[in-house]
Structure 1
């Protein structure tokens, strides 16, 4: 108990130095936690992909479409339970800065395939039966203060023109990690407009979503779909939803690696700063350590005092950093929702934060602990006076 009291008192003997060291560790842990959360969320779509959903697109590129007639042939393939289709719309709300994902989809089958988008029965029916009906996520609706029944106008980019929609529902996510910033509307509205304005672009789907009866059939169904349309004018590439999401993530793999490296560099930098602080503290207290040895304290006691002081400072800084991570993540999720629709800190990230703080404390204490434990009494007492 005496040693513990001594450790705590020594840790805050120089209040300004201790405060700045704790602050530095806290900021480093905060940055580390946010960067690790960002990396984890980058792969969130991959992790949440359903094992029973496949995505079929044009084999050349996602930019090229597929005939809508493909849906009937795909539906006849053994193992296919459900099928839906849609187009990436790419519309702009008022200004280019108001970016959010927006799609044209077949309402009934899409909602059946994606039960994570939860609507009330009334909103679901209204969306299905209204050609100009649209559905928005709860966070998206809150951001722009939309209410059910509002008229929403998007400026088309891929499909030029002013597109008016009636908001028929506001969905919530079945889980906290479900993206609630999407906007989707009735595919028939898009198709009917294309028939009147650009007939050659009508009856085309950008992608098909396929639900299989069992996850084990995913590979077999994928091969069957692609074989069905081989040597056609629009050949297909079918892959699991997870592989489809990974294809987008792989485009930014270098960025993710850079972010991971930066997160570790932040820890290394504060580790060096903390080690310098502890070394400075040890140099100032050499005479005290020699006096303790003269009073009968062994090298283990001295090592424990120095080591404990470093751990206390590092873990307090780590705890503060962890506590700051949650409001920071909430602010990012609220203010930057167009880029980070979900920004929640996982328990694993908290554990990594605390582990990083512990490593900082351990590494920073190695040299000061060795020096304090090995100081000779005569050499230490020589510094007194």
Structure 2
């Protein structure tokens, strides 16, 4: 009889217990795997770092505004080639759950900072002529079936119009092609139109975007910008565009913290289940283990047999969880056309990480029961085995 034969026969001896042991472990690993998949969906494309751009916000919070006049001071720095200011509009279309990114941008400087944005001549003409004109990405246009010339109304709880209404009507000028790594669903409106019609906040913006000169270290540029406003009324915090975009997109909460909490719960559940299962197995099979000892099995070989069973149970739960997560991700991609939940995925490194956690938990959960096996004289149970 091989060790593998003994392991599989022992595992299948009590199918109901095996299922009841594997199922809670599987649920724990599924939760952990899905959180990792969501975290991956929020990863920013790091092509943004190649654009040599940095983003400046108020040091207190992005909710606190910055003075647009401060842009002129950044423009005077030798390492900058272009600077623009942007304000988050924060509206929704028809229903509160129909949200997407909307930015009020400066007409004169925005496309100097984002030169790779492309739009047709027709869209550009309407965009320049009509104060209410907005530009939308192709994916956003497909989502709501918007066409050039359509009038759309966005409702925002942030900006109130001078007539005390929170409804803003815009005209679709056309589509624009966003840069790689930026948001696929976004709308650009004119900052001047927002400024002229909002009840409060004139001359304020949410953040600045600076394009750093080639050959200049972005970290040096970030420190220089922040030093410029160190002693002002609105001290700043500047970061790389990729870091800012990632933090801005993670509006569901701190997924890194959530991942750690779910991992801690998964580890606790699996550890308790494996320890309990192993301890119960050792007690129930003490006569069987005594026979193994009598026919020549060493204590280490018996311990290896039990350890292999424990690791196999945990790995089976882990494998089922990864498959369930993969099927879930595939289903969401088929059902959803946008949003982070449409991009849930488990990468090879994530699967290896989960596998390492599973094997480690299988070994850790078997530690104390196996310690008893190695310490006790198994032969004392031999009489009751006959």
TM range (shorter): 0.7 to 0.9
Shift of 1:358: 0.7
Query: With structure 2 as the length reference, what TM-score do the two structures score?
Result: 0.77
Q: Which runs of 5+ in 1 are unaligned?
A: none
Shift of 1:9: 1.9
Q: Is 2:315 the counterpart of 1:315?
A: yes
Shift of 1:210: 0.4
**Alpha-carbon distance in structure 2 between the residues aligned to 1:98 and 1:347:** 33
Residue in structure 2 matched with residue 241 of structure 1 by the alignment = 240
Residue in structure 2 matched with residue 284 of structure 1 by the alignment = 284
Query: With structure 1 as the length reference, what TM-score do the two structures score?
Result: 0.77
Distance of aligned partners of 1:285 and 1:184 in 2 relative to their CA distance in 1, 3 Å threshold: same
Q: Deviations over 1:45-86 (max 9, x none)?
A: 59776372222345776433423x655554343111232332
Q: More deviation in 70-79 or 269-278?
A: 70-79
Residue in structure 2 matched with residue 146 of structure 1 by the alignment = 145
| Corresponding residue SS for 2:289 | helix
Distance of aligned partners of 1:315 and 1:231 in 2 relative to their CA distance in 1, 3 Å threshold: closer
Distance of aligned partners of 1:65 and 1:307 in 2 relative to their CA distance in 1, 3 Å threshold: closer
Distance of aligned partners of 1:31 and 1:66 in 2 relative to their CA distance in 1, 3 Å threshold: same
1:212-227 mapped onto 2 (5 Å cutoff): 212-214=212-214, 216-218=216-218, 220-222=220-222, 225=225
Whether the 8 Å CA contact 1:84–1:106 is kept in 2: the answer is yes
Q: More deviation in 245-254 or 147-156?
A: 245-254
Shift of 1:270: 2.0
| Corresponding residue SS for 2:85 | strand
Q: Deviations over 1:294-326 (max 9, x none)?
A: 222222321221111111111111111122223
Q: Deviations over 1:230-285 (max 9, x none)?
A: 888x7563512367569879999988546523421221122111221122222222
Q: Is 2:174 the counterpart of 1:168?
A: yes
Q: Deviations over 1:135-179 (max 9, x none)?
A: 2373x556x44355455321233333332241722757735xx54
**Alpha-carbon distance in structure 1 between the residues aligned to 2:344 and 2:173:** 26
Q: More deviation in 336-345 or 154-163?
A: 336-345
Q: Deviations over 1:88-126 (max 9, x none)?
A: 1111211223233321224786466458xx87x5x4555
Q: Which runs of 5+ in 2 are unaligned?
A: 128-132, 161-166
Whether the 8 Å CA contact 2:54–2:209 is kept in 1: the answer is yes
Shift of 1:12: 1.8
**Alpha-carbon distance in structure 1 between the residues aligned to 2:40 and 2:374:** 42
Residue in structure 1 matched with residue 359 of structure 2 by the alignment = 358
Distance of aligned partners of 1:103 and 1:384 in 2 relative to their CA distance in 1, 3 Å threshold: same
Whether the 8 Å CA contact 2:65–2:206 is kept in 1: the answer is yes
Report the RMSD for the aligned CA atoms in angstroms. 4.1
Whether the 8 Å CA contact 1:152–1:167 is kept in 2: the answer is no
Q: More deviation in 359-368 or 101-110?
A: 101-110
Aligned length: 370
Distance of aligned partners of 1:380 and 1:191 in 2 relative to their CA distance in 1, 3 Å threshold: same
Distance of aligned partners of 1:368 and 1:191 in 2 relative to their CA distance in 1, 3 Å threshold: same
Residue in structure 2 matched with residue 185 of structure 1 by the alignment = 188
